[in-house]
Structure 1
Amino acid sequence: MTALLPAFDLALAAWLDFSWMERAVEHATGWLGLVIIFVYSFLIAFALPGVSEVVLAAPLNLGLDYAGRMTVIILVSATGKALGSVFAFHIGQEAKDSGIVMRWLRRSPVDIVAWSEKQTMNIARKWGYGGLAIALCVPFFPDTLSIYAFSILEEDYLKFAGATFVGSAGRLLVTLAFFHGAATLL
């Protein structure tokens, strides 16, 4: 029995290692590649660790020029992330109503809820859903916590989906601009 435990641990670790998903995105091509980008973007909004910018590396061969390919990738990714964010929003609404979850989070060694509520409240008070969209435009910053924190405090699914769509698309555009600018400097 104990000989099976290390094999089980390795299998579990491999299953929880989502780097295979990033590799799938990096090698995604054709119309199936768009499905992979959509699913990856949906999952990264509420479950996967990592950053969403990896979708820009997908070598989609759709017969489009560079600008067309990037436009399609950005639209598909932002749509997937917006829908995944709505799912996270729903989970946040349920968690807000569940005293058990909130009590457990408040008792954690680092008071994640208090910190994220404070930051999110500051953003929400100052800029509302536009603030969420702006916060999501920051490249290479895991935005799952922001999505969940905002979802606990807000209640409008449609505005939330719109803000995450705009923020996700903005994030990819900022990333492209950064790399394009860096490439022209070299």
Structure 2
Amino acid sequence: MIDTAFLSGGGWLAGIEGMRAIVETATGWPGVGIVFAYSFLIAFALPGPSEIVLVAPLDIAPTRAATLGVIVLTSAIGKAIGSVFAFHIGQEAKHAGPIVRWLERSRFDVISWSEKRTVGIAQKYGYAGLALALCVPFFPDTVSIYAFAVLEENYWKFALATFVGSLGRLLVTLGVFGGAAGLL
């Protein structure tokens, strides 16, 4: 049974909102570290939008475009490193029957959902499929990362695919929504 007081009154949802608020108000070079930390955590622990880093008012370069470049690169690196951490957890989970059984029984049927979407893409297109799947703005990628991590075994290819996918996602977001959102 889910403790609704925990979910609504400050528990992990408040933690996620708190992290988002920190990112949205991050300034200067310390803000680059915040963008990195948020991107690292979003890859394996936080079920939130990674695109939120684009609104961080870092103001660290002479132009907004240069600042966005630093944000995008920092976020992609943080997410790739966080994804490798998730990859390692996924490798361990492959050998942990209780974790797989728990996921199969979970209310959200994570295994079935991820098999239909991410696993299908991964099996058909490999690491390029993972990178493409991660380019879709506002699509929850934490589950995708874990689902793919259970199927594959190459840390470096995984890290490269998540880096390219994360970079692509932010660039697609800027291209499609940047002007309308006032990011550019």
Partner residue of 1:163 out of 161, 164, 168: 161
Query: Cα distance, 1:20 vs. partner?
Result: 1.1
Following the alignment from structure 1 to structure 2, what is the Cα–Cα distance between the partners of residues 173 and 13?
A: 35
The aligned residue for residue 84 of structure 2 is 86
Following the alignment from structure 1 to structure 2, what is the Cα–Cα distance between the partners of residues 44 and 140?
A: 12
Following the alignment from structure 1 to structure 2, what is the Cα–Cα distance between the partners of residues 148 and 14?
A: 26
Q: Report the secondary structure of 2:111's partner residue.
A: helix
Q: For residues 110 and 179 of structure 1, do their structure 2 counterparts lie closer, same or farther at Cα, with a shift above 3 Å needed?
A: closer
Letter in 1 for 2:134: L
For the pair 1:41 / 2:39, whether they are aligned, the reply is yes
The percent of aligned pairs where both chains have the same amino acid is 62
For the pair 1:14 / 2:10, whether they are aligned, the reply is yes
Query: Cα distance, 1:109 vs. partner?
Result: 4.6
The aligned residue for residue 4 of structure 1 is none
Conserved in 1, the CA contact under 8 Å of 2:128 and 2:161? Answer: yes
TM-score after normalising by structure 1: 0.86
Query: Cα distance, 1:49 vs. partner?
Result: 2.0
Query: Cα distance, 1:61 vs. partner?
Result: 1.8
Letter in 2 for 1:34: V
Show structure 2 runs of 5+ residues with no match.
none
Q: Report the secondary structure of 1:59's partner residue.
A: coil
Query: Could you give the per-residue CA deviations for residues 6-33 of structure 1, whole angstroms, max 9, x where no partner exists?
Result: xxx67x9425222111111111111100
The aligned residue for residue 174 of structure 1 is 172
Partner residue of 1:66 out of 64, 67, 77: 64
The aligned residue for residue 97 of structure 1 is 95
TM-score after normalising by structure 2: 0.87
Higher Rg: 1
Show structure 1 runs of 5+ residues with no match.
1-8
Following the alignment from structure 1 to structure 2, what is the Cα–Cα distance between the partners of residues 144 and 71?
A: 23
Query: Could you give the per-residue CA deviations for residues 114-145 of structure 1, whole angstroms, max 9, x where no partner exists?
Result: 33234333212321100000000010111100
Query: Cα distance, 1:183 vs. partner?
Result: 6.9
The size of the alignment, in residue pairs, is: 176
> Aligned Cα RMSD in Å?
2.2
Following the alignment from structure 1 to structure 2, what is the Cα–Cα distance between the partners of residues 64 and 172?
A: 21
Q: For residues 69 and 101 of structure 1, do their structure 2 counterparts lie closer, same or farther at Cα, with a shift above 3 Å needed?
A: same
Residues 104-113 or 71-80, more deviating: 104-113
Letter in 1 for 2:42: I
Query: Cα distance, 1:99 vs. partner?
Result: 1.1
The aligned residue for residue 114 of structure 1 is 112
Moved over 4 A (4+): 181-184
The aligned residue for residue 3 of structure 1 is none
Q: For residues 131 and 182 of structure 1, do their structure 2 counterparts lie closer, same or farther at Cα, with a shift above 3 Å needed?
A: same
Following the alignment from structure 2 to structure 1, what is the Cα–Cα distance between the partners of residues 59 and 120?
A: 43
